[in-house]
Amino acid sequence: MLTKSDIIEHLLDPGVIAVVRALRREQVLPLSEALVAGGITAIEITLTTPDAIGAIREAREKIAHRALIGVGTILKPFDCQQALDAGAQFVVTPICRPEFVALAHRAGKPVMLGAYTPTEAQLAHEAGADFVKFFPADGLGPSYIKGIRAPLPHLRIVPTGGVDLKTIGDFFKAGCVAVGAGSALLGKEILETDDWPALTKRAAEFVAAARAGRRG
């Protein structure tokens, strides 16, 4: 069984977390397989996915030996606990709700609290969050992250929203420890056509761009 430290280590390599908002529960397993084939092994199944809890449970049963399965868009403690009970290995929320920290840590799982400002980010850190999710990052950009890390270098920042093949390298160069990739990775056309080979190709491109950004 992976420890919280093990999970954190896996989340940081290659540092691309796929944010999955599937159209149907039945898509979750094949799209997860496609992501893993492309080198992305951290998969965040959001609660906006139909029967997300069931999808998390199935994915953990089928591919847990090859990928981390987490839960995203957590807004309520009840949902957080349900996802953990279903096997979620990490918890992500777009808001700063400190009570999620105790729930996740009690289960031995890392948690990512949401923030948009330096104050929110520091409060998330002081609450015990393992990572701070900056969302939506498209209105902020890598320069904003770089500016925040100057006085707050201890923050482990993961931007989500606005992360694509053009910006991913700059986010890593700005000091982000990982990124969350949603629609730029799992595009509407891929989900509407179940084009899993295209998803594998795009996943590989994101992984390559992340590694290049880290080197830079």
pLDDT at 32 over 80: yes
Interval 144-167 mean pLDDT: 96
Structure confidence at residue 95 as a pLDDT band (50, 70, 90): very high
Residue 197, pLDDT score? 98
pLDDT at 141 over 80: yes
Domain range holding 193? 4-215
Known catalytic residue: 173? no
pLDDT at 213 over 90: yes
Catalytic position from the list 133, 146, 189, 201: 133
pLDDT at 73 over 90: yes
First to last CA, the chain: 34
Interval 138-161 mean pLDDT: 95
Known catalytic residue: 166? no
Residue 13, pLDDT score? 95
Residue 193, pLDDT score? 97
Residue 131, pLDDT score? 98
Interval 18-38 mean pLDDT: 98
Interval 76-83 mean pLDDT: 98
Structure confidence at residue 1 as a pLDDT band (50, 70, 90): confident
CATH assignment of the domain containing 46: 3.20.20.70
Structure confidence at residue 203 as a pLDDT band (50, 70, 90): very high
- What are the angstrom distances between the C-alpha of 19 and each of 35, 45, 47, 212? 11, 6, 11, 21
Structure confidence at residue 215 as a pLDDT band (50, 70, 90): confident
Q: Compute the mean pLDDT over every residue in the chain, rounded to the nearest whole number.
A: 96
In sign, the C-alpha dihedral spanning 178, 5, 92, 29 is: positive
| Count of domains forming the chain | 1
Q: Is the pTM of this model over 0.75?
A: yes
pLDDT at 216 over 80: no
Catalytic position from the list 4, 9, 44, 192: 44
pLDDT at 34 over 90: yes
Residues of the chain above pLDDT 70, percent: 100
